[in-house]
């Protein structure tokens, strides 16, 4: 099918019977929509992550299991074959409890955590199939782990795109037909040993893009709770407006710098095959949404704002850096060794300042490895500042038109700025703030840069 669309529905779009029904209507209204990727019901992954911490008391475990039961039960009560559906969910709840007790007894790790959190998507997708049948549409459940091959870096596994393509063409493509809709899971995958992995929090968008690439789809549709990508998070800035079209680069910058509406890796497979991505609201599809494409009609200096909280700033200084070579290489190799990805960088004669993000791993593992700091301290002085907010202005050619960048500086000067970065990309200007109310800063920047 040449116009094939892959549709992904996030947690709130499958969070209850009404939301699932709206999502169902979106799927059946597009005859090209034959493969559907879904997230766990809203709130479920957070509950599973809590269980996977290995720190819940027996009472807490039972309380969470009961909440998980309630979330799925209120969908089941609207459907047929309730006995079968209930048994299915109870089977998963039992496995979740058993795995949680193992995590408590033996100590948790990312592998057990991935096994526990994967139940969220496995349960929601099963109920979504039942909902299609309830409305008289044939649907087929597909275990994405048979095709979503990843490495074994549990909690933030890397997909193996070549293998995914071969497996998808072998096992998923033959199932696609006009008669049935395939419903599968986002977020989860498996390694070569068949062990369950996850792509990191919010990873279902990425799953849809990876499957879309493997299937050579014409479009990837990300259905969520907002009608498109906005000029900034509409929950924080009430005047934020939906953006009709964005380039892949702009969307990737926004996602990288914290716009949660798209997982940062989503654009990577789409770019490789130039597949347009649509972002819209499953509750209000009539409102339209955003198209993310290779190029757009306009390239405004200021397109959007993104916010990432809780950044860590590490300032490394050494008097011997003056005129020396190799200092930066040494610093970066230590960060690489401890798997800390550096975001912003700024250098002076004797020091370098870098920021790192807490990351998006499923287990939520955060923080700096103390061994890394010790290793850095062997050749420089190390100062760490935590909990800093980072605001990114996303746009185009900000420094190439006179007076444009000044507008941003004029506006930010009322806030305490700790670090500024511009230059590596023509698409972002980043301010690391000292502290303060980020919502005030975002609203002010939005008003000055994006509201006229
Ligand atoms: P889903 O569960 O459907 O994947 P997410 O919660 O991951 O949905 O992403 C949607 C949310 O992203 C919105 O509710 C909104 O609060 C937030 N968001 C952050 N920045 C933006 C932005 N620039 N445009 C739209 N939504 C944004
Ligand atoms: N359910 C997963 C999460 O909450 C993946 C996703 O929703 O994209 O992070
Ligand atoms: Mg999401």
Q: Atom of ligand 2 at shortest distance to CA of 263?
A: 8
What is the tens place of the pLDDT at every residue in 28-66?
999 999 999 999 999 999 999 999 999 999 999 999 999
**Probe residue for ligand 1, chosen from 11, 204, 224 as the CB with the greatest number of ligand atoms within 8 Å:** 224
Q: What is the pLDDT of residues 347-356, one digit of tens each?
A: 988 899 999 9
| Mean pLDDT rounded to a whole number for the chain | 94
pLDDT at 322: 62
| 77 CB-contact burial (10 Å; exposed 0-12 / middle 13-18 / buried 19+) | exposed
Question: Which tokens sit at 160?
Answer: 């193996």
Query: What does the DSSP assignment read for 198-219?
Result: E--TTTHHHHHHHHHHHHT-SE
Range 146-174 average pLDDT: 97
User: Which ligand is nearest the CA of 232, by number?
Assistant: 1
- For a pocket test of ligand 2, which of 41, 113, 204, 265 has the largest count of ligand atoms closer than 8 A to its C-beta? 204
pLDDT at residue 242 tops 90: yes
> 281 and 230 in contact (C-beta within 8 Å)?
no
* Ligand 2 centroid from CA 451, angstroms: 32
In terms of residues, how long is the chain? Answer: 452
**Closest ligand to the CA of 263:** 3
List pLDDT tens digits, range 278-319: 999 999 999 999 999 999 999 999 999 999 999 999 999 987
The pLDDT of residue 366 is above 70: no
User: pLDDT band at 401, cuts 50/70/90?
Assistant: confident
Radius of gyration of the chain (CA): 23
Ligand with the closest atom to the CA of 39: 2
Model pLDDT for residues 176-205, shown as the tens digit of each residue:
999 999 999 999 999 999 999 999 999 999
Q: Note whether 135 and 219 are within 8 A (CB).
A: no
Q: Are 89 and 76 in contact (CB under 8 A)?
A: yes
The residue contributing the CA closest to ligand 1 atom 18 is: 233
Question: What are the pLDDT digits (tens) for 252-279?
Answer: 999 999 999 999 999 999 999 999 999 9
Domains within the chain, CATH numbers bracketed: 5-225 (3.40.1160.10), 303-450 (3.30.2130.10)
What is the bridge-based pairing of β-strands 277-281 and 219-224? parallel
Question: Rounded to the nearest 10 degrees, how much is the dihedral formed by the CA atoms of 125, 126, 127, 132?
Answer: 80
pLDDT score recorded for residue 134: 98
Burial group, residue 403, by CB count within 10 angstroms (0-12, 13-18, 19+): exposed
Q: Residue 360: is its pLDDT beyond 70? A: no
Element (H, E) at 278: strand 277-281
Atom of ligand 2 nearest to the CA of 201: 9
pLDDT of residue 359: 61
Pocket test for ligand 2, best of 125, 198, 200, 203 (most atoms within 8 A of CB): 203
Using one digit for the tens of pLDDT, what is the confidence trace for 84-129?
A: 999 999 999 999 999 999 999 999 999 999 999 999 999 999 999 9
Position in ligand 2 atom list of the atom nearest CA 10 = 7
Q: How far is the centre of ligand 3, averaged over its atoms, from the C-alpha of 102 (Å)?
A: 29
User: 358 Cβ partners below 8 Å, 6+ apart?
Assistant: 310, 312, 364, 366, 367
Q: How far is the CA of 134 from the centre of ligand 2 (A)?
A: 25
Atom 5 of ligand 1, nearest CA residue: 261
pTM of the model: 0.95
Whether 149 and 189 have beta carbons less than 8 Å apart is answered as yes
Q: For residue 250, which ligand has an atom nearest its CA?
A: 1
């Amino acid at each position: 099918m040449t116009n094939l669309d892959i549709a992904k529905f996030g947690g709130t779009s499958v969070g209850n019977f009404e939301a699932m029904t709206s999502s169902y209507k979106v799927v059946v209204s597009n005859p090209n929509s034959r493969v559907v990727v879904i997230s766990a019901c809203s709130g479920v992954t957070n509950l599973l992550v809590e269980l996977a911490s290995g720190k819940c008391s027996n009472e807490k475990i039972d309380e969470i299991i009961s909440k998980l039961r309630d979330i799925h039960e209120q969908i089941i009560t609207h459907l047929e074959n309730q006995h079968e559906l209930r048994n299915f969910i109870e089977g998963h709840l039992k496995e979740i409890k058993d795995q949680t007790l193992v995590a408590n007894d033996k100590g948790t790790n990312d592998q057990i955590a991935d096994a526990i959190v994967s139940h969220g998507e496995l349960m929601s997708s099963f109920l979504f199939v039942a909902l299609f049948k309830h409305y008289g549409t044939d649907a087929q459940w597909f275990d994405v782990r048979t095709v979503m091959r990843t490495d074994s870096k549990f909690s933030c596994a890397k997909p193996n795109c070549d293998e995914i393509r071969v497996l998808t063409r072998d096992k998923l493509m033959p199932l696609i037909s006009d008669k049935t809709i395939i419903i599968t899971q986002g977020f989860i995958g498996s390694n070569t040993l068949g062990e369950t992995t996850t792509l990191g929090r919010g990873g279902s968008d990425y799953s849809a893009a990876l499957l879309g690439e493997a299937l050579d789809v014409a479009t990837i549709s990300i259905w969520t709770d907002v009608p498109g990508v906005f000029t900034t998070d509409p929950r924080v800035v009430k005047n934020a407006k939906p953006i009709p079209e964005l380039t892949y680069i702009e969307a990737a910058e926004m996602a990288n710098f914290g716009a949660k509406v798209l997982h940062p890796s989503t654009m990577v497979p789409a770019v490789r095959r130039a597949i347009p991505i649509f972002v819209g609201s499953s509750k209000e599809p009539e409102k339209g949404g955003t198209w993310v494409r290779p190029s757009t009609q306009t390239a405004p200096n200021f397109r959007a704002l993104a916010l990432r909280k809780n950044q860590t700033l590490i300032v490394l200084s050494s008097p011997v850096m003056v005129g020396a070579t190799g200092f930066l290489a040494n610093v970066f190799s230590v960060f690489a060794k401890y798997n800390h990805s550096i975001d912003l960088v700024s250098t002076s004669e004797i020091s370098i300042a870098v920021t790192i993000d807490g990351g998006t791993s499923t287990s939520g593992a955060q923080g700096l490895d103390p061994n890394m700091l010790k290793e850095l301290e062997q050749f420089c002085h190390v100062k760490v500042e935590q909990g800093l907010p980072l605001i990114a202005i996303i746009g185009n050619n900000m420094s190439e038109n006179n007076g444009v960048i000044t507008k941003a500086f004029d506006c930010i000067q009322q806030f305490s700025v700790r670090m500024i970065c511009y230059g590596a990309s023509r698409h972002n200007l980043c301010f690391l703030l000292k502290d303060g109310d980020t919502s005030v800063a975002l609203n002010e920047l939005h008003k000055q840069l994006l509201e006229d």
